[in-house]
């Protein structure tokens, strides 16, 4: 593809592109900070599929039951992997930190590019902020659940959840600024840790749960208590766990300027992570449909967490559920660190092309850390503001954070 010049309107101003497959801007960041494995670690940490899929078990109680949980996950995971492959092709041709914002501006009709770019950029930015806020609250919830497990007298309040969420955000801020050079090694380690932890939970559940669910109960007997007569319609609700577990493929795209060869490495990370998440999630789903002995208990789970209830029903050991809770505390805190990494790159790249106010401030790069320091601060501040919704009714909180999907 020969060099061309595209007018992208006020959002992505006219820039001279180079050959397809080359990064479009001279990077201001450390282009050798991450490699394929550490970027897989960041993207995998955002979702942590084998462990996160357990959080969605409450969605299948009476909504198709185990069969729709399994088959819905399988269909959704295959579909999402195909989406990842198509986005990987775009990332290979147009490596850019703003990811889908730049792709929209580049590939849209010229007269529609400004509006579509702004719209895509705004939705992407708010989506990442909502994801960070939701993850901060989830991290706080697991930390509070740990307190409930070690002390029967402890009952968390909304303001305590808020303070724990703020503490989690501070941890993410520190890792994305002062400890940024340790982040690649941490993310590589966490891929192994999260998968080993998921394997530990799987093996324990399979070893101790007796009797297990029958094959018919796990794969065939649909439980439709939604009030809708059409099982086919209810099946679509069963797609949600798989779609939420195999997603956020743009994470790798937003790291394009911190990889030495983004046109090759970003697509590999996208597809590899989709496959890793799909396989890891599928193994955990199979384990859960055979080992969830009392699905009705998930409506009011122990310490407010479905995974803790499932583990308690399988093995009523305080030590065991405390270890599981600690694993999830680490998972959510690590996930928040990676989400803030991605969110800050989105804000930085969108501001750099004029898509956000305070362009000069938000598009700045710290020469000391070679990271978009101001964008990291802005991400954490926005995240902290939205975590205040933990004082709101649960429906408001769930609806807003669900928008991140």
Which residues, in sequence order, are CB contacts of 317 under 8 Å at separation 6+? none
Give the pLDDT of residue 402: 59
CA-based nearest residue to 160, from 170, 147, 173: 147
Give the pLDDT of residue 168: 98
pTM score, whole prediction:
0.89
Least-confidence region, from 31-40, 119-128, 161-170: 31-40
Q: Across residues 363-380, what is the average pLDDT? A: 92
Beta strand 63-64 pairing with 12-16: unpaired
Q: What percent of the chain has pLDDT over 70?
A: 89
Rounded CA-CA distance 11/40 in Å is 30
Q: How many CB atoms lie within 10 A of CB 297?
A: 16
Under DSSP, is residue 399 helix (H, G, I), strand (E, B) or coil?
helix
* Distance, CA of 121 to chain centre: 18
pLDDT tens per residue, range 40-49: 999 999 989 9
Higher pLDDT, 10 or 355: 355
Give the pLDDT of residue 368: 86
pLDDT tens per residue, range 158-185: 999 999 999 999 999 999 999 999 999 9
pLDDT tens per residue, range 69-98: 999 999 999 999 999 999 999 999 999 888
Rounded CA-CA distance 345/25 in Å is 14
Give the pLDDT of residue 181: 92
* Domains in the chain with CATH codes: 31-117+128-402 (1.20.1740.10)
Does the bond joining 177 to the residue before it have cis omega, within 30 degrees of 0? no
């Amino acid at each position: 593809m020969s060099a061309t010049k595209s007018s992208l309107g006020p959002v992505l101003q006219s820039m001279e592109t180079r050959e397809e497959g080359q990064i479009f801007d001279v990077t201001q960041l450390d282009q050798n900070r991450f490699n394929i494995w550490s970027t897989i670690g960041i993207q995998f940490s955002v979702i942590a599929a084998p462990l996160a899929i357990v959080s969605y078990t409450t969605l299948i109680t009476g909504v198709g039951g185990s069969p729709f949980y399994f088959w819905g996950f399988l269909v959704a995971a295959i579909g999402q992997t195909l989406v990842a492959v198509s986005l990987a092709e775009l990332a290979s041709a147009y490596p850019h930190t703003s990811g889908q914002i730049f792709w929209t501006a580049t590939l849209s009709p010229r007269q529609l590019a400004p509006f579509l770019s702004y719209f895509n950029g705004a939705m992407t930015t708010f989506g990442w902020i909502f994801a960070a806020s939701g993850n901060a609250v989830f991290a706080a919830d697991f930390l509070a659940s740990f307190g409930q497990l070690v002390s029967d007298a402890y009952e968390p309040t909304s303001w305590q959840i808020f303070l724990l969420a703020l503490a989690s955000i501070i941890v993410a801020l520190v890792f994305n600024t002062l400890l940024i050079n340790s982040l690649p090694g941490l993310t590589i380690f966490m891929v192994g840790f999260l998968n080993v932890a998921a394997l530990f939970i799987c093996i324990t559940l399979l070893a101790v749960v007796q009797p297990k669910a029958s094959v018919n109960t796990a794969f065939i007997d649909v439980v439709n208590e939604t009030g809708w007569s059409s099982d086919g319609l209810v099946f679509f609700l069963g797609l949600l766990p798989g779609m939420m577990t195999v997603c956020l493929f743009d994470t790798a795209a937003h790291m394009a300027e911190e990889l030495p060869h983004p046109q090759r490495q970003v697509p590999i990370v996208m597809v590899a992570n989709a496959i890793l998440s799909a396989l890891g999630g599928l193994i955990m789903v199979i384990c859960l449909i055979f080992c969830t002995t009392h699905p009705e208990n998930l409506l009011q789970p122990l310490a407010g967490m479905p995974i803790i209830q499932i583990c308690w029903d399988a093995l009523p050991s305080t030590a065991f559920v405390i270890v599981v809770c600690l694993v999830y505390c680490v998972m959510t805190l690590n996930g928040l660190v990676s989400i803030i990494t991605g969110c800050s790159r989105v804000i930085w790249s969108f501001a750099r092309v004029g898509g956000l106010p305070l362009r000069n401030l938000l598009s700045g790069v710290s020469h000391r850390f070679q990271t978009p320091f101001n964008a990291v601060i802005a991400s954490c501040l926005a995240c902290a503001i939205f975590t205040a919704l933990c004082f709101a009714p649960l429906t408001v909180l769930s609806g807003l954070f669900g928008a991140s999907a």
